[in-house]
Amino acid sequence: MHSCMLPAFVPAFRFSNLHRFSNRFSHDFILAGLGSHLKTNSRRGEATYGASLDGNKAHRKARLAPPRRAMISLMIVHEARVRVRYAETDQMGVVYYANYLIWMEVGRVEWCKKAGFVYRDMEHEDGIYLAVVEAQCRYRHPARYDDEVLVKTWDAENSPRSIRFQYEMRRASDERLLAEGSTRHVFCNKEMRPTRLPAKYHALFGLAG
C-alpha cells in the first residue's frame, strides 16, 4: 500500500438536522451559515391552528419543540492503494467478495492518519473504539490478481456519537468502478458501551457546531 497523493481536505460541507417535523404540528428551522465563524440560529415560538368541533372553532396552541443544534462537518477524503494478492482471489479467478470489507478497513485506518491521528492510539490512550454496527457493499466489476486498486474513503455522516464512512474501490489502470459501500460505527468505551467522542477529537473528525 502506498501513501495517499490526494490533499487531506476537500471543501465539501454537510448539514444535518436542517428540517424536522414532529407529530404535534411543530417544526424546527435551523439555518446554518458559513463564514469566518460557524453560527447557527434558531428560534422557539408558538404555532396556532384551528379546529372545528360541532360548528364551533377552537384554537389550540402547539409549542415548537426545542431546536437541536446544527452539526456542520468538513468532509475529509482519502485515497489508499492496495494490490490484489493471489491469496485474495477465489476459484473463479476474481477477488473473493469478503476481501472488499478488508479493503474498507484499510481505507478508514489510513483516513484516520490523514485526519491527524492514529486509530490504535485512540484505542490504547483514550479507550475509544469504532464499533461496526452496519456494513454494506455493492459489487460492480470483478478485480483480479495483481490489479492495483484505489480505495477512496470519506466520512459521509459525523456526530459525537457515531460516524458513517463511504467507500469507492476502482481499478487504478483505468479507474473502472469495482465496488462501493459504507460502514456505520458507534463510539464505544472499553466496556463496549456507547459513548461520546472526546472533545479533543472533534476537530480531527471535522466536527464543528
**Looking at the whole model, is its pTM more than 0.75?**
no
Q: Which residues of the chain have pLDDT under 50?
A: 1-72
pLDDT at 74: 63
Catalytic residue, candidates 28, 90, 126, 174: 90
Residue with cell 454496527: 133
The CATH number that domain 9-13+71-208 falls under is: 3.10.129.10
Task: Tell me the per-residue pLDDT of 68-78, one tens digit each, with 9 for 90 and over.
Answer: 444 445 678 99
pLDDT at 33: 34
Task: Tell me the per-residue pLDDT of 159-205, one tens digit each, with 9 for 90 and over.
Answer: 999 999 999 999 999 999 999 999 999 999 999 999 999 999 999 88
Is residue 162 within 8 A of residue 171, CB to CB? The reply is no
pLDDT at 70: 43
Active site residue 121: no
Helix, strand, coil percentages in the chain from 3-state DSSP, rounded to 5: 15, 45, 40
pLDDT at 16: 39
Q: Is the dihedral of CA 127, 133, 137, 143 positive or negative?
A: positive
Largest CA distance in the chain: 79
Segment (H or E) for 157? strand 148-158
Cβ count within 10 A of residue 19 = 9
Residues 23-50 as b/e (b if ≥16 CB within 10 A, e otherwise) read eeebebebebeeeeeeebebeeeeeeee
User: How far apart (Å, rounded) are the C-alpha atoms in residues 109 and 120?
Assistant: 9
> What is the distance, to the nearest Å, from the Cα of residue 82 to the centroid of all Cα atoms in its chain?
22
pLDDT at 129: 97
pLDDT at 97: 97
Domain boundaries, the chain: 9-13+71-208, 17-63
Is residue 103 within 8 A of residue 148, CB to CB? The reply is no
Which residues fall within 8 angstroms of residue 146, CB to CB, at 6 or more apart? 83, 84
